[in-house]
Amino acid sequence: MIRARFFPLYIFPILLVISFYLRAGEKSSKDIQKDINSRKTELQSLRNEIKDIEERLHLKNKEAISSTEILLNLENKISLTEKLIRSLDKEERYINGLIQTTEKQIREMETLLTKLKNQLTQRLQYLYVHGRPTILETVLLADDWNNAIYRIKYLDVLAEYEKILRQEMKQTLAELADEKIKLVIERNRKTSLLNEKRKEGSNLERDKKERKNILANIKRDKGKLEKSRSVKSQVISEMEALIKTLYSDKESMKKREAELARIRAEQNRATTGNFAKMKGRLPWPVQGKIIGKFGTIRNPDTGVVIENVGIDIQAKSGTPVMSVLDGVVSTITYIRGHGNIIIIDHGGGFSTVYAQIDNITVHENEYVQKGGTIATVVKAGNNTPEKLHFEVWGNQQKLNPQIWLTH
């Protein structure tokens, strides 16, 4: 008697498992991609901020802006770089999780695919040995017509599921290939991420070293400025004492005034020689740029405040220094911090001071013409700009020389 040949029904649950895998995988991929895009946006935002600060730092260095401003930008960059590295660490952990999940999915899909292949192989082997029952065989082997109809429907269902099985296997193979491609992409992302993290770590160390150097320079400069302030304070005190002495020596002052009046009368210069009327009209003692202004100056990096009782005019060593108005040389002396000094009495309680000079060509109590050469600019030491220091005093009060010189 011919035995009925039907394929086992345990293949149906397997097909359901495959369908679940495919649906779950599709939803997970969308969520993962959305998460990846969000993380990419966050990382790129940090990169853009760091790039913006780098450009500002480059510009500030180029423009020689104060160290404090550069330090502030550098601190911001260090903070953002540290934040970026933390984000990269977080991203690395996230990618590691994706890689582990993908590898697990690949293993499970490969296991499932192996089972499906085995089931399909068994089915094909069974059909090869026993053949596929015809409708006639199915009817003849049935106990009755109802049983025959049931068997025919069963064969139709089984044939349909064989078709589905082949389609599902084909789709699973495609999904498996996609997962393997995704794994390669994730591993490449991780490699790129690690390279970026190493680069940012190197940049961070470099910026911290630069910050340390800037702080050290500010500390060193503060020490120098404190010393310079001390020296300048002493110079100012000595200059004030010198001016006070000149004004307190009434007899010598009267002699100079009389001599100056006599010479001006002979030259008919009574009006042009009046210093008080020359504000904004005096010639420059040397031609150059003012590199040290009158008054108190606060260093933006160190906070040290230094007073300048005159102005400093940049000029090359050897440049002739001229008297801004006619007068009588009241004093030629030396003050530490200023070097050689010439003080010219212009009458009416006004005097001018010329410092940082050499090759003096006049003597005390000598009359000098307006524009007459009295000395030359001294050669400066290393890392010190060559300049003439120029002061204006009126009745023992220090005045801003810049407003007296011609504009």
Q: What is the DSSP string of 97-143?
A: HHHHHHHHHHHHHHHHHHHHHHHHHHHHHHHHHH-PPPHHHHHHHSS
Integer angstrom CA distances of residue 338 from 4, 111, 241, 317, 385: 122, 91, 15, 15, 13
Print pLDDT tens along the chain (407 aa): 334 444 444 444 444 444 444 444 444 566 666 666 666 677 677 667 767 766 665 665 544 456 667 777 777 777 777 887 787 788 888 878 888 887 888 788 778 777 777 776 776 666 556 555 554 444 445 455 555 454 445 555 556 666 766 777 777 777 777 778 877 887 887 787 778 778 877 777 887 887 777 777 766 766 665 565 566 666 667 777 777 777 777 788 888 888 888 888 887 765 445 788 899 999 999 999 999 999 887 755 556 567 888 999 999 999 999 999 999 999 998 887 788 999 999 988 899 999 999 999 999 999 999 999 999 999 887 777 899 999 999 988 999 999 999 97
Determine the residue type at 57. L
- pLDDT (0 to 100) of residue 62: 46
Please state, in angstroms and rounded to a whole number, the distance separating the CA atoms of residues 347 and 328.
Answer: 9
Size (the chain), residues? 407
- pLDDT (0 to 100) of residue 39: 66
CB distance 122 to 162 below 8 Å: no
CB distance 84 to 91 below 8 Å: no
Backbone angles phi, psi at 321, to 5 degrees: -105, 130
- pLDDT (0 to 100) of residue 103: 82
Determine the residue type at 285. P
Distance separating the N- and C-terminal Cα atoms of the chain: 129
- What torsion do the CA atoms of 172, 173, 179, 184 make, to the nearest 10 degrees? 180
CB distance 377 to 286 below 8 Å: yes
Name the token pair of 161: 């599921």
Name the token pair of 49: 């901020």
DSSP string, 55-73: HHHHHHHHHT--HHHHHHH
- pLDDT (0 to 100) of residue 31: 66
Backbone angles phi, psi at 392, to 5 degrees: -130, 130
Radius of gyration (C-alpha) of the chain in whole angstroms:
48
Q: Please give the domain boundaries of the chain with CATH numbers for all domains.
A: 11-221 (1.10.287), 249-403 (2.70.70.10)
pTM listed for this prediction: 0.48
Please state, in angstroms and rounded to a whole number, the distance separating the CA atoms of residues 72 and 321.
Answer: 43
Please state, in angstroms and rounded to a whole number, the distance separating the CA atoms of residues 22 and 109.
Answer: 10
- pLDDT (0 to 100) of residue 231: 62
Where does 249-345 have alpha helices with state H?
250-266
Which residues have CB under 8 Å from 141's CB, separation 6+? 2, 4, 151
Nearest to 37 by CA among 80, 94, 99, 118: 94
- pLDDT (0 to 100) of residue 121: 73
**What one-character DSSP code corresponds to residue 293?**
-
